[in-house]
Chains A and B, each alone.
Chain A
Amino acid sequence: MSLFASDVAIVGGGLIGSSAALALRRLGFSVVLIERDLCGARASGVNFGGVRRQGRSIGQLHLAMRAHAIWQRLPELIGTDGEYVQSGHLKLARSPQDLAALAEYRERTSDFDLKLEILEGAEFRRRFPMFGEGVAGGSLSPEDGQANPRLVAPAFARAAASAGVIVLERCHLTSMAREERSFLLRAEAGVEIRAQHLINAAGGWGHEVASHFGDHLPLKVGYPTMAVTEPLPAVLGVSLGVEGGGFYARQVARGNLVMGGGFGEATGPGTSRPGRRPMASVAEQAAAILPALRHAQVIRFWSGTEGYTPDKNPVIDFSPTTSGLIHAFGFSGGGFQIAPAVGEVLAELVRDGTSTTPLDSFRINRFNPHPMSEASIL
């Protein structure tokens, strides 16, 4: 029998949960971080590794700008740079319409210091000679970049543990309840955790944790398909996306081209595999966009479990039904870059009940009509 009592309990040891744990600890809270597997082993550790602000909605850019500053001091925060490089992020256009959309995005986000540069024609070819004929131009975000999620996600959990967070890995919760004065969580092997605050950072399983407390939030689980080639000569300096989505790529220092697009399928509870169609689509687009690499060998496809909300914005909000409960999930494939800021925001929510970063786009009440909110009003 192990008993833990803390100010905050966090369900989910992914990047969101781990960065929240670290931020809370730095504010002086006692924290227990509960992870069913190993911290950062799921979507947080196997995602594409894009660290980009470009392409995010206005609502997310406040968070992304805050995160951008944190990425610059990663070694100081978690003891590793996680292979973070400001390689620049280039969003490709494959038609005049795409270019217009990119230009329109630059206008719309001019309040933020993204330094976006729209490139086309000869100038684009001169600076990016590696792209195939179908690429018309692109929008370069010079200060965005990429990092290695396999290293970053576990490093946040490790830093949290070093800072005094109690990290319970391979810990299977058997019950969660809001009691009069605190939350009581029970896990296998007689583990009991009491906490004043509970953060639901369960990622692709966040809706299951939420509905446990009567918050029924719309979340669709998806399994992004990603691929990596053998190491290749340096061809691609920037991290890559395409207008309209469906393909993304980056080349790491070792030379491997990491890429992805499309969705795979579930194979069981918590496991998934890359889909055959997205495999073909990713490979086809890679060969078209980077023709020099068409004979490169793919050495691995993989997939992870990610939760998607209807508007692709996460939920970062207090539970409407349960006091002391905060939900933070549904990052919809875009959580990696903003996660360090989300951690700080969650710590502020616990401490102050509000955050200095605007969270309007992430409110639960945007999913209206909301049956359980109505029920709780009644």
Chain B
Amino acid sequence: MSTDRVVVIGAGPAGIRAAETLVRNGIRPVLIDEAARGGGQIYRQPPRAFRRSGKDLYGWEAPKADGVHSALARIMPDIDYHPETLVWNAREGKLDLLRAGRVAEISFDRIIVATGARDRVLPFEGWTMPGVFSLGAAQIALKYQGALLGPRIVFAGTGPLLYLVAYQYAAAGAAVAGVIDSAPFGAQVRALPDLLRQPVTLAKGLFYRAFLHARGIPVWNAALPVEALGSGTVEGLTWSRKGQRQDIACDAVATGFGLCSETQIADLLGCKFEYDDSQRCYLPQVDGAGRSSRAEVYLAGDGSGIGGADLAERAGERAALALLEDIGHSHDNARAVVLDGEIGKLRHFRRGLETAFPAPGFGDFQLNDDLIICRCEEITFGEARRAIAANEISELNRLKALTRIGMGRCQGRSCAPAAAELLAQCSGGGLASAGRLRAQAPIKPVPLAAIGVPPP
């Protein structure tokens, strides 16, 4: 059975640990990644010629980043590594790839999908103006290119990433004009019992906050962005707290209300999905070891539900062990038991984070009819609301069919969370009954001329 071809998609913490575990057990996996160098978003590496230290790039996480990067370097001779490669379609036993403008096809017997996450963006007035970025984009600019968005930047949204990126920017010398967190401080206090299960991680989170405080950077809780100000480019942000509005001057806004799993490949592979209340979205079904509803498909890391990098490393290794077990390959059962314990603890901590940084109530946003909800197709909230009312729309794919929301270049990556919230709000049916947009190939745009060449 060890002749089975195993493919791992994604060279982040989950994918690299999965590949490493397969190599350790005598399997030579294929590792496919969109980035030029391994590490994923969280441990993204700069271009080779750059000479910033790990400490500069990753702060306290430098040893973990180094661990993941070194693991990839170590197994490099024993894997088939395809960097800068987009998986744009997945079907029965086969993946369609795009690399350097050319398509290719690869077959697999088993696959570990570790596709990571993207920002959960919610719209506010001016959110499509140049100068408004997602939190993840702000962090990529810093980690990948050593560039700061700004110089004066406001961070608005919620989640642990909000404080981490604000801290990283402040530490790198940016003028952080403020942090606007939609979560009430009380929620963070309530979450303490769960968060105390990972005291070191909790301490880091508290440190980021203390660091911001020591630098005189204001942090406002229970606050929401209202409008990015400026003519053509960002000059400030209006935000509100308890009905009071304030303006803050800045050159850039980085925003994100948590993360969304990238589930398109799991969807194209035919995995079953179910609604997850804590993450307010549909996620592929997965057991504790990473098995999906399909025998040949395993899921690990943030792509199967947001859990963070530490959990992703363990989930990647655990999914690889499950795969080895399922193909009748010898594997380390004792290690699996240890991992199950660690994963359980990390999930508990995760629950604490979700308590600490709850998604804001959609009703609290002031979403005027002329505000864009789908930026690819330039559809406004007004058009969406009118279509929902006139056609009694209660489901996302019908909303897409009748309004074009989610039909553009991003395939709903950017607008689907807001569209689902709006639908739930208007129809009163809840997020679960709003459903989810079905994934369609190509997952990301592919040129006609490239697709037109039949795969070799």
Contact = CB atoms under 8 A, between A and B. Distances in A.
Contacts of B407: 300
A230 interface: yes
Given A45-B401, A154-B402, A277-B454, A295 B447 contact: yes
A66 interface: no
A229 B89 contact: no
A276 B91 CA distance: 9
B455 A276 contact: yes
A280 B448 CA distance: 9
B449 A302 contact: no
A299 to B, nearest CB: 5
Contacts of A297: 409, 445-448
Given A280-B452, A294-B449, A299 B402 contact: no
Nearest to A280: B454
B451 A283 contact: yes
Contact-size category for A: 20 to 34
Interface in A283-298: 283-287, 293-298
A301 B440 contact: yes
A41 B391 CA distance: 13
Contact of B96 (A276, A284, A299): A276
Interface in B411-456: 411, 440-442, 445-455
B184 interface: no
Contact of B402 (A150, A286, A294): A150
A274 to B, nearest CB: 7
B398 interface: yes
A23 to B, nearest CB: 21
A298 B377 CA distance: 15
A229 B448 contact: yes
Contacts of A280: 451-455
B395 interface: yes
Given A38-B398, A273-B91, A287-B449, A300 B454 contact: no
A283 B455 CA distance: 13
Nearest to B395: A38
A36 interface: no
A298 B453 contact: no
B408 interface: yes
B54 interface: no
Contacts, number: 88
B270 interface: yes
B156 to A, nearest CB: 29
Contacts of B91: 273, 276
A298 B401 contact: no
A267 B270 CA distance: 9
A151 interface: yes
B442 A298 contact: yes
A279 interface: yes
A284 B452 contact: yes
Interface string A148-171: 001100100010000000000000
Contacts of B411: 299-300
B442 A300 contact: yes
Contact of A294 (B94, B409, B447): B447
Given A276-B89, A277-B454, A280-B454, A41 B401 contact: yes
Given A41-B398, A150-B402, A267-B270, A299 B408 contact: yes
A254 B446 CA distance: 19
A18 B76 CA distance: 59
Contacts of A285: 452
B143 to A, nearest CB: 27
A254 B403 CA distance: 13
Contact of A293 (B270, B401, B441, B448): B448
B398 A299 contact: no
Contacts of A254: 377
B391 A298 contact: no
Contact of A298 (B94, B105, B446): B446
Contacts of B447: 294-298
A287 B448 contact: yes
A150 B407 CA distance: 12
A41 B91 CA distance: 23
A279 B397 CA distance: 23
Nearest to B94: A276
B442 A299 contact: yes
B391 A158 contact: yes
Given A41-B401, A230-B409, A298 B448 contact: yes
Interface in B380-416: 391, 395, 397-398, 401-402, 407-409, 411
Contacts of B105: 276
Contacts of A276: 89, 91, 94, 96, 105, 455
A295 B449 contact: yes
Contacts of B449: 283, 287, 294-295
Given A38-B395, A150-B401, A295-B447, A301 B441 contact: yes
B448 A296 contact: yes
A283 B398 CA distance: 27
Nearest to B378: A254
Nearest to A259: B448
Contacts of B377: 254
Given A154-B402, A267-B270, A301 B442 contact: yes
A201 to B, nearest CB: 20
Of listed B409, B447, B453, residue having the most chain A CB within 10 A: B447
Of listed A273, A283, A293, residue having the most chain B CB within 10 A: A283
Nearest to B451: A283
B442 to A, nearest CB: 6
A179 B402 CA distance: 40
B86 to A, nearest CB: 12
Contacts of B451: 279-280, 283, 298
Interface string B33-62: 000000000000000000000000000000
B391 A284 contact: no
B452 A287 contact: yes
A283 B397 CA distance: 25
A273 B94 CA distance: 14
A283 B446 CA distance: 10
Contacts of A286: 448, 452
Nearest to A297: B445
Interface in B256-290: 268, 270
A49 to B, nearest CB: 12
A285 B409 CA distance: 22
Contacts of A230: 408-409, 445
Nearest to A257: B448
Interface string A112-123: 000000000000
A279 B89 CA distance: 11
A61 B243 CA distance: 65
Interface in A8-25: none
19 contacts: A45-B401, A150-B402, A254-B377, A273-B268, A273-B441, A276-B89, A276-B455, A279-B89, A283-B448, A294-B448, A295-B447, A297-B445, A298-B451, A299-B409, A299-B442, A300-B440, A300-B442, A301-B440, A302-B440
Given A276-B91, A280-B453, 6 more contacts: A41-B397, A150-B402, A280-B455, A283-B451, A299-B411, A302-B440
5 A-B pairs with the lowest CB-CB distances in the bound complex, closest first: A297-B445, A284-B452, A283-B452, A283-B451, A294-B449
